[in-house]
Amino acid sequence: MIAALLFVGCAGTEEQEIDSAEEQIEVENQETQSEETTRVKRDSIHPEAPVQMATFSGSWFQVEYPNDFIASPTSPIDVFGDYEFVETDEARFTSPDGTVEFFVFSPQWSGDPIDYLVEQENEKTVDQSEEKANSDDPFAVSHHWVTYEDKEGKYTRSYHSLMTESTHHVFGVKYTNRKMYERYKAAYLAFKKSLQQFAD
């Protein structure tokens, strides 16, 4: 039987004042749930209404994303008991206008995403930082933040890697310009907080 465990590794470490998109996201992540809910309503695609969320079920995780975003992949589909899911450890969610993309990697235990952590040929690294966990605590979380930019200025891409001795999770956001990032920032925070990780 699969038991759901709420993944809480995102909170409690973002005290740095580094000028990058992902760091600003993490500072916002320290705010209360009620403040975030208000912000989602204010900064949503339709400012007069709260963002409606859909649920994506992967092999070992579930995450909520804006329901007008396009999720990928959508197959292959498998079923375990009453749990229907896409057989994947990672997924992407793209806004209707194609200007913003969310990313999540959430395997059962450890591992790396296929290519998301790698600087691509058309990219340059503009910022990175890390916070290492206490090596005496196998459950402590190490954080790594990286921001890439397309060399022609077509987009910015940031990721946040969270790793313990036996697990690895990655969140990412890609956007064509700062205005689009600000437009979807609250939805991205809600996306990160919604992740649920499953175990045997």
Q: What global pTM score does this model have?
A: 0.76
Please write down the HEC assignment for all residues of the chain: CCEEEECCCCCCCCCCCCCCHHHHHHHHCCCCHHHHHHHHHHHCCCCCCCCCEEEEECCCEEEEEECCCEEECCCCEEEECCEEEECCCEEEEECCCCCEEEEEECCCCCCCCCCCCCCCCCEEEEEEEEECCCCCCCCCCEEEEEEEEECCCCCEEEEEEEECCCCEEEEEEEECCHHHHHHHHHHHHHHHHCCEEEEC
Residues 25-76: tens digit of each pLDDT: 444 444 334 444 334 333 434 444 568 999 999 999 999 999 999 999 999 9
Q: Which residues span the domain enclosing 114?
A: 3-199
The CATH number that applies at residue 40 is 2.60.120.1690
pLDDT < 50 regions, the chain? 1-48
Q: How many domains does the chain have?
A: 1
